[in-house]
Amino acid sequence: MFDIGFGELFLCFVIALIVLGPERLPRVARSVGRWTGQAKSYMRNLSTELERETQAADLKKKLDEANRLAREQFAMLESQVKSTAGEVKDAATPPGEGKN
């Protein structure tokens, strides 16, 4: 992301030492370190949450597709069962009896 080498980092440290002085520099460094750690933690949590949301959306999409396929299969099976039941009923009717 940022290309900060050792030279640039050392220059920033020297400038901070001159501006803040040796008394306040350790406190400021701790505060900056704490803020950076919190920012990294927030970004990690955000990244994890976005990944979970994406996975949940994918799973929901797959579940909806599976439900649609199951309904189609059920409808097809139901029509086949009705057709077969009608054929069995017709075959079981004695030849002398007609439909009224």
For 33-83, write each residue's pLDDT tens digit.
Answer: 999 999 999 999 999 999 999 999 999 999 999 999 999 999 999 999 999
Query: Reduced to 3 DSSP states, what percent helix, strand and coil does the chain have, rounded to the nearest 5?
Result: 85, 0, 15
69 vs 63: CA distance, rounded Å? 10
28 vs 22: CA distance, rounded Å? 10
Domain count for the chain, please give it. 1
CA torsion 23-26-30-33 (nearest 10°) is 130
Q: Does residue 1 belong to any structural domain of this protein?
A: no
Query: 39 lies in which domain range?
Result: 13-86
pLDDT band, very low/low/confident/very high, at 22 (cuts 50, 70, 90): confident
pLDDT at 100 over 70: no
Q: What is the pTM for the complete model shown?
A: 0.53
Q: Does residue 60 belong to any structural domain of this protein?
A: yes
Q: Does residue 32 belong to any structural domain of this protein?
A: yes
